[in-house]
Structure 1
């Protein structure tokens, strides 16, 4: 049966700009890039793979629920305030940190193409 999520694939409009953004702003490591396929593999420090896939379609890795945009990928951080300030300093569209009252903080941010992501911090 299924054991874990191995990778996530994210649609982007410009593979080279997105590679630069994900490596420089988010700190992911570029593993390989196929200019022919317009596909790149980046890894998180923990080893999870993210594939950037250039598309001409107007699409994102988001969905709507009750008219609100929801992310499909969530990350974890050990310092949400540092991450928030880092994103702000890099002109990233980021929402305010939310405390759920249960010991978790969340923030949401968007990449260059409008893909929305969630970050969770466990207090």
Structure 2
């Protein structure tokens, strides 16, 4: 059926320490917390929600399930490194620049920049 999917509404990331993760996603990534209750905490990122889920058995991802888009990848990369976030070097490709980094639970996440 055409037109069934309109957007990705919510992305879920399991975390082992909700308070630590809320602080990190707020202070390091600059996201604004929308709500926090019953083991879930949601941030708005553009039109999509990023929802943290409290879990006793977090299995960090080896590959970024999504990228955060930025228009200043060099500044973002420098900021993360200065704030002791484990981050790979920026990869420069024909139409996109990207790098991976890790959140406090070791999940690999990504940043990208391209002409929008």
TM-score higher than 0.5: yes
- Which residue is equivalent to 1:9? 12
Q: Distance in 1 between matches of 2:18 and 2:47?
A: 21
RMSD between superposed Cα atoms in Å: 1.1
**Larger strand fraction of residues:** 1
Q: Which 5+ residue runs of structure 2 have no aligned equivalent?
A: none
Structure 1 segments, 4+ long, off by >6 Å, are none
- Which residue is equivalent to 1:65? none
Q: Distance in 2 between matches of 1:76 and 1:58?
A: 25
Q: Which 5+ residue runs of structure 1 have no aligned equivalent?
A: 63-68
Q: 1:121 aligns with which of 92, 113, 116?
A: 113
* TM-score normalised by L of structure 2: 0.91
* TM-score normalised by L of structure 1: 0.86
Tell me by how many angstroms 1:104 deviates. Answer: 1.2
Length, aligned pairs only: 112
